[in-house]
């Protein structure tokens, strides 16, 4: 087959066969397809979409590009949560230890930052020496020993997603239904899951800007889940403002640890409980949502979830004390203050995400270095009051030039109203 011919076929709106898709994906992994050809194919898919059978072939080829875990011999329910991406979303660090300390196996494969959204793997790598590309054999041993772990796609597991994901990040081809579905579901199916809870983010900081787009994505994800015999539940959550009080890299790990110590912001706890309760119901570890949430809160109260997260950090080589030290010694802080008093009525979350990329929390180009110390504290959020001159955002990090440039992007990213504004609902359905 000739790569350019397949690109032309997709560009002109024709359907690719299963063999053609498999050949293209294999070629991508074996470096027989150039990055420019992969980019062109992704753009053709972005504009023309894919039929159900094309999407299924893409998912299968992406799974088959690497190994697939099998944990069902452990006799425990194997489950995971995945989100479609947002700003300040650190739920994975809170939820996996909670679920794992309740006897669920959580073998998470996650990704790096995509466009303006933060990446689970980039955040974890802010913990000095934390290993995100563990080989399959050692990861299985870790899961057997402690029940949870978070790794990235690698040459062994989901290599096709690793490559396609990084090219999508750089080429404006992220918000495409078949590309999102195949990226998410290939990773989740490779994990050998019994059950999955999908957190579909909706709003101005999400890839799905409207609930109707989010519902279409939900239908597609559920179709793939059921074809691969994974119980798939969906939650729609509001991403029209950042989640939690912090967004960035190391600061999100610290905020997650605080949550596990029982000292986290309400929105993080609310969403973690909502998502986790679906897994406890699927696995029959709880009979109703109330019971599920109580069980989860108990793992925070008795310290077992925190202990599990610490075990995971140690198992993956990380040094949490060093992260704490570097976060408490950050040199620079800049502020964005309100020029009037009132209620914060909205935030431009996507722009905030791009400012975070500018600060070094994400990449514009493949080799861009990250600044693990950088982040933003949201001192006030939608529905809260602010006084004239009060700090709305605190920007921090090692590189003052980058902070200044991010600051100039952030000026018009929130609105203040003199009318009372209610706190927006976090769980949309």
Q: Give the residue numbers annotated as catalytic, written as ranges.
A: 82, 161, 168, 183, 187
Residue whose CB is less far from ligand URA, 221 or 257: 221
- Least spacing, CB of residue 195 vs ligand URA, in Å: 17
Q: Could you tell me how many residues of this chain bind ligand URA (CB under 6 A)?
A: 8
Q: Which residues contact 326 (CB under 8 A, 6 or more apart)?
A: 128, 250, 372, 373
Nearest Cα to Cα of residue 108 among 75, 73, 146, 62: 146
180 binds ligand URA (CB under 6 A): yes
- 89 closest CA partner among 275, 220, 221, 213: 275
How many residues can be counted in the chain? Answer: 429
Q: Name which of residues 354 to 393 contact ligand URA (CB under 6 A).
A: none
What does the alpha-carbon distance between residue 5 and residue 337 come to, in Å, rounded to a whole number?
Answer: 54
| Backbone CA torsion sign across 397, 399, 401, 402 | negative
Cβ 187 to ligand URA shortest distance, Å = 6
Q: Stretches 4-12, 94-102, 181-189, 287-295: which one binds ligand URA (CB under 6 A)?
A: 181-189
Report, in Å, the least distance between residue 80 CB and ligand URA: 11
> Looking at 38, 114, 124, 214, which residue binds ligand URA (CB under 6 A)?
114
CB of 176 to ligand URA, least distance (A): 8
User: Should residue 111 be labelled a site residue for ligand URA when binding is judged by CB under 6 A?
Assistant: yes
* Binds ligand URA (CB under 6 A): choice among 183, 258, 277, 349: 183
Place of tokens 């989901």: 158
* Structure-token match 């610290």, residue found: 254
Angle, vertex CA 150, rays to CA 25 and CA 372, nearest 5? 100
* Token couple for 292: 């599920």
Question: Judged by CB under 6 A, does residue 132 bind ligand URA?
Answer: no
Nearer to ligand URA, 363 or 377 (CB): 363
CA distance 35 to 343: 47
Residue from 3, 66, 85, 118 binding ligand URA (CB under 6 A): 85
Contact (Cβ atoms closer than 8 angstroms) between residue 351 and residue 205? no
Q: Which residue is nearest to ligand URA (CB)?
A: 183
User: Are residues 76 and 103 in contact, defined by beta-carbon separation less than 8 angstroms?
Assistant: yes
Residue found by looking up tokens 């935030």 in the block: 347
Q: To the nearest whole angstrom, how small is the minimum distance from the Cβ of residue 126 to ligand URA?
A: 19
Give me the least distance between CB of 207 and ligand URA, in Å please.
7
- With respect to ligand URA, which residue has the nearer C-beta, 183 or 413? 183
- Can residue 62 be called a binding residue for ligand URA (CB under 6 A)? no
Stretch in the footprint of ligand URA (CB under 6 A) among 19-27, 62-70, 179-187, 230-238: 179-187
Q: Nearer Cβ to ligand URA, position 168 or 231?
A: 168
**Is the Cβ of residue 183 or residue 256 nearer to ligand URA in the bound state?**
183
- Give the position of tokens 């560009």: 11
Q: Which stretch binds ligand URA (CB under 6 A): 33-41, 177-185, 252-260, 339-347?
A: 177-185
Q: Choose which of 84, 235, 282, 316 interacts with ligand URA (CB under 6 A).
A: 84
Helix, strand, or coil (residue 107): strand
Q: Is residue 299 near ligand URA by the rule CB under 6 A? A: no
**Collapsed DSSP state (helix, strand, coil) of residue 325:** helix
**Range 302-341, binding ligand URA (CB under 6 A):** none
| Whole-number Å distance between alpha carbons of 145 and 315 | 9
DSSP letter (8 states) at residue 427: B
One of 40, 78, 184, 313 touching ligand URA (CB under 6 A): 184
Identify whether the C-beta of residue 248 lies closer than 8 Å to the C-beta of residue 378. Answer: no
Tell me the C-alpha to C-alpha distance, in Å, between residue 55 and each of 3, 169, 286, 393: 19, 20, 34, 41
Least distance to ligand URA, CB of residue 192, Å: 17
Structure token digits, residue 250:
């190391």
Candidates 4-12, 70-78, 180-188, 292-300; binding stretch for ligand URA (CB under 6 A): 180-188
- Give 195 or 397: the residue with its C-beta nearer to ligand URA: 195
Under 8 Å CB-to-CB from 31, ≥6 apart: which residues? none
The two structure tokens encoding residue 142: 């870790």
The residues in 187-206 that bind ligand URA, with binding defined as CB under 6 A, are 187
Summarize as ranges the residues that interact with ligand URA (CB under 6 A): 84-85, 111, 114, 180, 183-184, 187
């Amino acid at each position: 087959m000739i790569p350019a011919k397949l690109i032309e076929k997709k560009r002109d709106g024709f359907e690719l066969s299963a063999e053609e898709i498999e050949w293209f994906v294999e070629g991508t992994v074996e470096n027989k397809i150039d990055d420019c050809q992969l980019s062109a194919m992704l753009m053709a898919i972005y504009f023309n979409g894919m039929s159900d059978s094309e999407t299924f072939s893409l998912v299968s080829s992406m799974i088959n590009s690497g190994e697939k875990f099998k944990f069902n011999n452990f006799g425990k329910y194997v489950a995971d949560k995945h989100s479609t991406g947002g700003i300040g979303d650190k739920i994975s660090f809170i939820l996996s230890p909670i679920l794992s300390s309740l006897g669920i196996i959580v073998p998470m494969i996650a990704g790096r930052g995509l466009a303006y959204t933060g990446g689970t793997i980039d955040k974890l790598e802010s913990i000095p020496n934390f290993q995100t590309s563990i080989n399959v054999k050692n990861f299985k041993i870790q899961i057997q020993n402690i029940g949870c772990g978070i790794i990235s796609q690698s040459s062994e597991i989901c290599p096709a997603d690793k490559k396609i994901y990084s090219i999508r990040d750089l080429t404006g081809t992220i918000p495409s239904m078949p590309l999102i579905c195949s990226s998410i579901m290939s990773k989740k199916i490779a994990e050998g899951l019994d059950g999955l809870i999908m957190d579909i983010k909706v709003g101005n900081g999400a890839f799905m800007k409207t609930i109707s787009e989010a519902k279409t994505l939900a239908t597609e994800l559920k179709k793939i889940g059921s074809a691969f015999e994974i119980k798939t539940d969906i939650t729609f959550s509001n991403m029209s403002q950042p989640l939690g009080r912090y967004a960035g890299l190391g600061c999100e790990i610290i905020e997650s640890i605080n949550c596990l110590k029982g000292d986290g912001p309400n929105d993080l706890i609310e969403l973690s409980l909502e998502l986790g309760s679906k897994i406890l119901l699927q696995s029959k570890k709880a009979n109703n949502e109330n019971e599920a949430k109580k069980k989860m809160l108990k793992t925070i109260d008795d310290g077992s979830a925190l202990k599990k997260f610490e075990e995971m950090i140690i198992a993956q080589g990380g040094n949490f004390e060093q992260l704490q030290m570097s976060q408490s010694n950050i040199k620079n802080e800049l502020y964005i203050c309100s020029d009037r008093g009132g209620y914060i009525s909205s935030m431009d979350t996507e722009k905030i995400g791009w400012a975070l990329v500018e600060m070094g929390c994400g990449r514009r180009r493949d080799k861009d270095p990250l600044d693990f110390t950088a982040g933003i504290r949201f001192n006030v959020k939608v529905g809260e009051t602010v006084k004239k001159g009060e700090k709305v955002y605190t920007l921090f990090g090692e590189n003052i030039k980058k902070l200044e440039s991010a600051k100039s992007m952030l000026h018009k990213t929130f609105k203040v109203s003199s009318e009372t504004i209610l706190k927006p609902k976090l769980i949309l359905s």
